[in-house]
Each structure stands twice: as structure tokens, then as C-alpha cells.
Amino acid sequence: MDKVNLKRLAKELNLSVSTVSRALSDSYEISLETKEKVRALAQKLNYQPNPYAKSLRKQESSTIAVIIPEIANSFFSLAINGIEEVAQEKGYHVLIYLTHENQLREEAIIRHLLNGRVDGILMSMATQTSAVNHLFELKEKNIPIVFFDRICDQINTVKVVTDDFESGFKATQHLINQGCKKIAYLSVSPNLSIDQKRVNGYLKCIHAHQMEDQVVYCGNNDEQNLSTIKTLFGSTERPDGVFASVEKLALSTYAACEELSLLIPADVKVVSFSNLPTAPLLNPSLTTITQPAYQIGKEAATSLFGALGRNPIELKEREIVVPSTLILRKSTG
Amino acid sequence: MDKVNLKRLAKELNLSVSTVSRALSDSYEISLETKEKVRALAQKLNYQPNPYAKSLRKQESSTIAVIIPEIANSFFSLAINGIEEVAQEKGYHVLIYLTHENQLREEAIIRHLLNGRVDGILMSMATQTSAVNHLFELKEKNIPIVFFDRICDQINTVKVVTDDFESGFKATQHLINQGCKKIAYLSVSPNLSIDQKRVNGYLKCIHAHQMEDQVVYCGNNDEQNLSTIKTLFGSTERPDGVFASVEKLALSTYAACEELSLLIPADVKVVSFSNLPTAPLLNPSLTTITQPAYQIGKEAATSLFGALGRNPIELKEREIVVPSTLILRKSTG
DNA sequence: TTGTACGCGTTATCAG
DNA sequence: CTGATAACGCGTACAA
């Protein structure tokens, strides 16, 4: 079975390759008659232009990369959903890369993408403080990047985030309103932009009420987090309120309470940033700050696509804030 | 800033392009000395081979496509995790396409991929009965495909699944053991391979016990499912056991019980296929048949990669079964 | 309106 | 051991 490419079509129609090419791209300098003959044969033979030849020639790939820490996480899943939606609409392809929170992998991926495989990048960082030299190289190579959720301060570009600070404040205020006297904040990683903003919202609220703050440093290891939280609850001055910076820490908190026979919300009230679809069904249902993950993905993709294509808009430093919603449920009483 | 490609390297080193190319691919016919000079400069200028030129020349792309119905679903998220893991290891890139359970989108995606953008495809189908002509075309074009989870019977290839029939049987048996007298099966779509096998396991078990079966047809619309289930529970002979074929139906069941003030497990016992990380934390904790999603993704990817590269193995009809686990929790008493 | 010729960046073949 | 040349498939400047 011969491959069907422009040459093949040209030969069968006794035309030149360039005429066929132009006919298929509906060029104004080709007669209608010829166009229709070409299109008919192309259809008949099911001609599909070779994307790699096209990319090589045009120096663009109609492909973007999405680099995220993990995918088994409702926030990122939903964000990808939004991204893919916009991409499919615009005729772009989406490559997925997972860093597993590992800086080295992140760096290797970025380095690899310097070769022009993608026209642009959407990224949520593994950590913020990672050496960002590789990101500067992207600028040099003119590969646009848009950050979402976990952003990188040092790079001037569009960043799509939620109102982390305000939401952190609101969540803390809610715990105080519910009568909490001692509120702990569970930090997932002080290197992350989101964690920093959320903790600052928390601290501002705590201090506005002349209360004592307590920031507990957790990590990405579930078992370790569980033991950290159990230790926290075992201390003499056990907190009566917990603010989890990310949903996995809320789940560990639930697990810790289960093991220690602490009752939520009677003994401890819990609020968490989370996009879990099961938040309302947990035991007890979890009060969440729910981020508009799908919307964030869409916004980020839309911004990126604005910087691609025929008349690209340069990506200037800009923060697009899509606000979160505090959803009250039983875990805070 | 000049682009750094083979030509550039060649010029700076007073070598020919072909020598540079061979040096970088560590060809045996290049002197060590030359190789090192070339590599040094390549490193210094941070040379990155153009992937599209390479793909065009070699007629392969080091890229695979993953086509799935949705991504905000713990099974598929975990599967992608496994797929990406293997891909990264083998130096492959992963394109993601979502069908949103839409046959037309699925067809359009496949059609598009006939152009050689990817070396192979991993797929979980939107529905089983969709016209499969486009899938046959893949065979003709020699693009290997491996199905996972929701497979397509008509295509001879590797299929990675879990033991849906046996698990369906086991789950039903468990409900019977727990004293259920009337067990309803919630079907997500009778067109899906997985649904068919699961319901058959259910039916076999039900009939073995001379019980009456009740298959309730739901769909992809959460609101409609909720009302379907509420109707089910409102009927005169309300079932005392529910077997949900997919996790979203279990969640709708929980919601329906909440609204109708039915108690799980006292009034209704519930078991479901599910990969929800929050299953143990639901109210009450949910008895699940948990699929090895990550493992399934890995197996599928591994099989596909076996059919790619230097000495590819043809994909013969074969079913790889990775068994699920029934995890007992409070929703079944 | 159509054709010719070239180049995108790489690798493979052939020659030396 | 190295170099010249062609080819992968497509798009476009230039010519006619």
C-alpha cells in the first residue's frame, strides 16, 4: 500500500506538488475546478498531511506541553480537563509530563522541551525555589510559558491563580467564628507559592485576633504526614481547629482523628483547600475552599494560545485571579 | 541568536554535517577525538536535535496517544500515572485526548491520528458499539493500539482489563452473605465491555441463589442518575442492596440515600467498583472493588512499547487480566 | 492559474 | 575515518 502524500496526489492528477499543496490550503490562486479535483482525490485516498513535515517546514507544532507535579489529584485532573477542552477547540495537541514533585525531573523535562517540540508550555511547579535557569532558557528560545496554581515569581509571564491569600484568611476567620481557640495550619511545602500565600492569609487573620499561630510542616509522604498530625494531636495543647493547605493533608487529618478517636467537629474542626468530589460525602462532610480548577485550566490555556499562532500577543507579567469558594459543611460544626 | 543545529556545529568545527550527526549518535566510524570535540561544542551551545526533522526522517515520533473518556475520574488518573511512568522511562512522549464519552469526538481523534503523529495508541473506549471502521484503518496504517479497561472486541490486539466478571460475582456474593434479599445493579452503559462483564457476574450469582435480578440503567448525567436512583428507592419493593458498576453511581446512591433519609448499611447496603482514595472516609466508608488502575496503565503501556521500536513484536489478540480486590468497609455492614 | 526550485534539520547511502 | 548528496513531506518565493 503506497503512502498517500502530496507527491502521490500530484502524480495521479498530473499536477505539480505545489499546486496540490495550494489547492488543499484553499489558496486564492488556484482555480475552483482544480481545487475540487484535488479535494475529491484527497478525500478518496484519505489523504492526511504529515504533521512532522509540516512542523519542520513551518517551525511550529500545534502542540503544547502541560507539566504538573501529579495527576491523581482532583485539582490537576480538572485543570487538564479545562486545558484539553480549549486545546481541542483550537486544534492543538496536549503533551502531558509528570514531575512527581521532583525538581530533577522537572528540570530534565524543561530542558528537553527546549528543542522545539512544543509551541508553548503550561506549568504548575514542583517547588518554587528550584533553580530556574532552565526556565530562563525558555524565554531565550522564545517558547512561551504560562504558570497556573503553583507559579514561579522570577519569570515574567501570565500566572493564573486563585485568591490564595484571601481564601486563607476567610477559612481561618471561619474557624474562629466557629469558636476555635487554637488553630493549626498544615503546610505542604513552604517552597510553594500557594502555600506561602495561604499561610500568610492564615497568619494575618490569626494575628488580627491576637491568637497564637501554629504552622505544622508536612510533606508529600502520606505516612509521615499521618504521624506528624498524630503527634500534633497528642501534644498537651491540642489544637481545636485545623486548616489544611491541600486536600491530602485533610485526609490525613481525618485518618489521624479516626486513629486517636477524636471527633470532628466536636474535638477538632477541619477546613481544607480541596476539589474532592466526595467532600460532601465524607464522614463528616468536609468544609472546603474549592478552587475553580477547570476554569483555571481554561484561563491558562486561553492565555497561552493568545501568545501562539498568527499574531501572537507577548506574555507580559500579569496575574489572573479566579476566586475560590468557601463551602461550609459539617467538619466545622 | 542563531539557531543551533547540526549545520551550525559543523561550521564551527570545520566538519561536515554528516560527521557531526554520526559523532553525536556515537557511531563506531568516528574517531574518539572528533566525537569529544563535537560533544563538547554541542554541550557548550546546548544543542538539541530537532524532533520534527528526526521524526520526518525516521518515520517515527517517539510519541504515543492516550485516548480516554474523561480524566476527572480516579481510575483514569491513576492509569495515566502508570502510562506516563513507563513512557518517561522509555523516552516516549504522551499525548492526551479526551472524548467526554462522545463517539463523534472519539472518531475524529482516531481519524486525525491516522496521519502518523503517533507511533501507537492506548485507548479506553467511550462506548463499545461505536462504528469501529476507523479502528480498522489504524491496522491498515500499521499503527498499533492497545485497549485497557473499556475494550473493543472486534479488534484483534492486546487488551488489559481486570477480572470484571469474577469481581462482579464476588461483590454480589458479598451482598448476599451480608443478608441482602433484593439486590439492584446500577449499569452505567450496556454498551461498555466492562459493564457487560460486571453485570454478567452479578446475574450469575443472583441466579445461582434463585434470587430476582434488577438491572437499573443509568448514564453519564449525574442529575438524571440521582433521580433514577431516587425512583428506584421510592418503589414499593425497595432493594436492600445496591451494586454500582462505577464509582459515580455509588456517589449518586449516597446522595439519594441522604435525600431520602435512608441509612447505609441498615436500610441499603452498597458496594461499588471504585478507585476513590476517599472510599475509607466516606459516610459510611464504602465497600469497593478496587481495580489496580496504576498497574493496568503500566501493563498497557508496556505491551504497546513492545510493539514499537527496533524489533517490534506484533500485537496478537491477548487479554491481560490484572485482578481487582474486594475491600470490605462499613457500607455493607 | 500553474510549475520549478529550494529549504526546514535530520539521517542514510555511497564514495573516497 | 570523513564528506558529499539525497531523501523524508511540505510550503513558499520566484518564474512563467
Chain B residues near residue A85 by CB distance under 8 angstroms: 98
- Judged by a CB distance cut-off of 8 A, whether residue B227 touches chain A is no
Confidence of residue A309 (pLDDT cuts 50, 70, 90): confident
- Judged by a CB distance cut-off of 8 A, whether residue B238 touches chain A is no
pLDDT in tens, B263-287: 999 999 999 999 999 999 999 999 9
Confidence of residue A3 (pLDDT cuts 50, 70, 90): confident
pLDDT(A236) > 80: yes
Confidence of residue A128 (pLDDT cuts 50, 70, 90): low
* A-B Cβ pairs (cutoff 8 Å, strict): 129
Q: What is the mean pLDDT of residues B192-209?
A: 96
pLDDT for residue B246: 95
Interchain contact, A72 vs B78, CB within 8 Å: yes
pLDDT in tens, A160-172: 999 999 999 999 9
- Judged by a CB distance cut-off of 8 A, whether residue A80 touches chain B is yes
pLDDT(A63) > 70: yes
pLDDT(A42) > 70: yes
| Chain C: bases < 7 Å from a protein Cβ | 1-5, 7-13
Between CA B253 and CA B261 the distance in angstroms is 12
Residue with cell 470532628: A264
Chain B residues near residue A48 by CB distance under 8 angstroms: 112, 114-116
Assess contact for A147 and A159: CB atoms under 8 A.
Answer: yes
pLDDT(B1) > 60: no
Assess contact for A64 and A121: CB atoms under 8 A.
Answer: yes
pLDDT for residue A32: 86
**Who among A52, A71, A278 is closest to B61 (CB)?**
A52
pLDDT(A7) > 80: yes
- How many CB atoms are located within 10 Å of the residue A80 CB? 27
What cell does B241 get?
Answer: 442492596
Q: What is the mean pLDDT of residues A71-78?
A: 94
Residues comprising chain A, all counted: 333
**CB proximity under 8 Å: B 283-322 to A:** 283-285
As a rounded value in angstroms, the CA-to-C1' distance for B59 and C12 is: 13
Across chain A, mean pLDDT equals: 93
| Residue B47: nearest nucleotide (C-alpha to C1') | C9
- Judged by a CB distance cut-off of 8 A, whether residue B96 touches chain A is yes
pLDDT(B30) > 80: yes
pLDDT for residue B133: 84
What cell does A15 get?
Answer: 499536477
Label residue B261 left, alpha or beta by phi (over 0 means left) and psi (-120 to 50 means alpha).
left
As a rounded value in angstroms, the CA-to-C1' distance for A53 and D4 is: 24
Alpha helices in B91-178 (DSSP H): 103-113, 133-140, 164-177
Across chain B, mean pLDDT equals: 94
pLDDT for residue B162: 97
Q: Is A2 exposed, middle or buried (0-12, 13-18, 19+ CB in 10 A)?
A: exposed
Of A241, A270, A245, give the one whose Cα is nearest residue A255: A270
pLDDT(B176) > 70: yes
Which amino acid is present at B1?
Answer: M
| Residue B4: nearest nucleotide (C-alpha to C1') | C9
- Helix B17-24 with B32-44: angle, nearest 10 deg: 90
| Residue B25: nearest nucleotide (C-alpha to C1') | C11
Assess contact for A286 and A302: CB atoms under 8 A.
Answer: no
| Residue B30: nearest nucleotide (C-alpha to C1') | D1
B18 touches strand C (CB under 7 A): yes
Interchain contact, B48 vs A77, CB within 8 Å: no
Q: Between residues B83 and B36, which one has the greater pLDDT?
A: B83
Q: Please name the residue whose C-alpha is nearest to the C1' of nucleotide C11.
A: B57
Confidence of residue B127 (pLDDT cuts 50, 70, 90): confident
Of A119, A116, A128, give the one whose Cα is nearest residue A159: A128
- Judged by a CB distance cut-off of 8 A, whether residue A104 touches chain B is no
Interchain contact, B255 vs A281, CB within 8 Å: yes
In A, minimum Cα distance to B78 occurs at A72
Between CA B106 and CA A16 the distance in angstroms is 35
B325 touches strand C (CB under 7 A): no
pLDDT(A1) > 60: no
Assess contact for A84 and B98: CB atoms under 8 A.
Answer: yes
Residue with cell 554541542: B42
Q: What is the mean pLDDT of residues A193-222?
A: 95
Q: What is the mean pLDDT of residues B78-83?
A: 98
**β pairing state of B287-290 and B325-327:** antiparallel
As a rounded value in angstroms, the CA-to-C1' distance for B94 and D2 is: 38
pLDDT(A129) > 70: no
Instruction: Tell me the percentage of chain A whose pLDDT exceeds 70.
Output: 98
Q: Which of A2-6, A227-231, B163-167, B185-189 has the lowest mean pLDDT?
A: A2-6
What are the φ and ψ backbone dihedral angles of A125, each rounded to 5 degrees?
-80, 150
Q: Which of A228-232, B152-156, B228-232 has the lowest mean pLDDT?
A: B152-156
pLDDT for residue A311: 84
CA distances from residue B300 to B7, B97, B148, B156, B321 in whole angstroms, order as listed: 40, 17, 6, 15, 11
pLDDT for residue A310: 81
Stated as kind and residue range, the H or E segment containing B186 is: strand B183-187
pLDDT in tens, A262-297: 999 999 999 999 999 999 999 999 999 999 999 999
**β pairing state of A269-273 and B241-244:** unpaired
In B, minimum Cα distance to A134 occurs at B46
pLDDT(A11) > 80: yes
Interchain contact, A52 vs B49, CB within 8 Å: no
Interchain contact, A84 vs B97, CB within 8 Å: yes
pLDDT for residue A226: 96
Q: Please name the residue whose C-alpha is nearest to the C1' of nucleotide D13.
A: A18
Chain B residues near residue A78 by CB distance under 8 angstroms: 72
Q: What is the mean pLDDT of residues B116-135?
A: 86
pLDDT for residue A243: 98
Confidence of residue B309 (pLDDT cuts 50, 70, 90): confident
pLDDT(A26) > 90: no
pLDDT for residue B130: 64
Q: What is the mean pLDDT of residues B33-56?
A: 92
Q: Which of A56-70, A71-85, B2-16, B156-170 has the lowest mean pLDDT?
A: B2-16
pLDDT in tens, A221-233: 999 999 999 999 9
* Nucleic strand D interface residues, CB < 7 Å: A 3, 5-7, 17-18, 21-22, 24-25, 49-50, 53-54, 56-58; B 14-19, 22, 27, 29-34, 53, 56-57, 59
Confidence of residue A29 (pLDDT cuts 50, 70, 90): confident
Q: Between residues B274 and B130, which one has the greater pLDDT?
A: B274
- How many CB atoms are located within 10 Å of the residue B4 CB? 17
DSSP tag of A142: T
Residue with cell 507539566: A67
